[in-house]
Amino acid sequence: MSRECPSVAELIAAVKSLTRATDGTFQTAWKDSFIDPFHCCEQGGYIYIDLPVPSPLTRAFITRAPKGATMNQRTAGPNASIDLNSPGINQNNVILVANFHTHPLAAVAPVNGSPEPSRSDMENAYFRGVPGIVVSRSGVYAYGPERRESLLNPKGYPASVPQGPLNFRLVVQNPPGPPTVVPGLQWPEGIPGARGAVAEDEGEAAGSDDLGPAGDVIEVEWSSEGVEYGDKLVENRRYECPYITRKTTIGSLH
């Protein structure tokens, strides 16, 4: 019998390179979020692990989503957004266990960005059936369902789950955890976040046949071109359909 999928806290505890301060998965996405000293964008992607779920869990596979819309990080503007509707991976015997994205805007006037998961982030997580992760100046937040429950359609999103509490959990606080400041690009540098905390062409999996050291992260290139998905979600929109089952052809990629 397969073990259950990990929660975000269990995933981070087992795969240390997700939160490595210099070149970890979350730090890399954070650095990529800052285009120049005036502009930024949300970055994110998808986290997969081996299936059957191993014990102990020692590695994760990462695919990146297209970057979100460019924003001015010094002035007020439209809501930030990123498309996390198209998970996929050129790798067999894996399962999607979480998605992640950044919230790079500072929580100061006139920008007034939110370091925490938004209401639509949390609603979308239940609709997608997997926990979500937000990386911001306050640290790393988990939200949505505690863990993925269904093993069906392992490379994509499972059926939606009933909407639970719209709350979030700070699983890695900054400091001391990531993300660290991106000098010369992040504005303003070192600004406090919430609660006073300082503040991805198709390809084959690189080294996918070799077990890396404990806590290894393997980056896998992915393109969703030519793949049809069902209902599209946008991270800054609210949806009133937490019980709808997603219709998708991603199962053909297994």
Q: Is 20 exposed, middle or buried (0-12, 13-18, 19+ CB in 10 A)?
A: middle
Average pLDDT, stretch 4-25? Answer: 95
- Is 60 exceeded by the pLDDT of residue 134? yes
pLDDT on residue 191 = 52
Report the candidate in 149, 119, 117 with the shortest Cα–Cα distance to residue 132: 117
pLDDT on residue 79 = 81
Q: Structure pTM?
A: 0.79
Q: How far apart are CA 117 and CA 123, in angstroms?
A: 10
Place of tokens 């981070």: 12
Q: Is 119 exposed, middle or buried (0-12, 13-18, 19+ CB in 10 A)?
A: exposed
For residue range 235-248, list pLDDT tens digits in order.
Answer: 433 333 332 233 33
- Is 50 exceeded by the pLDDT of residue 90? yes
Output 227 or 58, whichever has higher pLDDT. Answer: 58
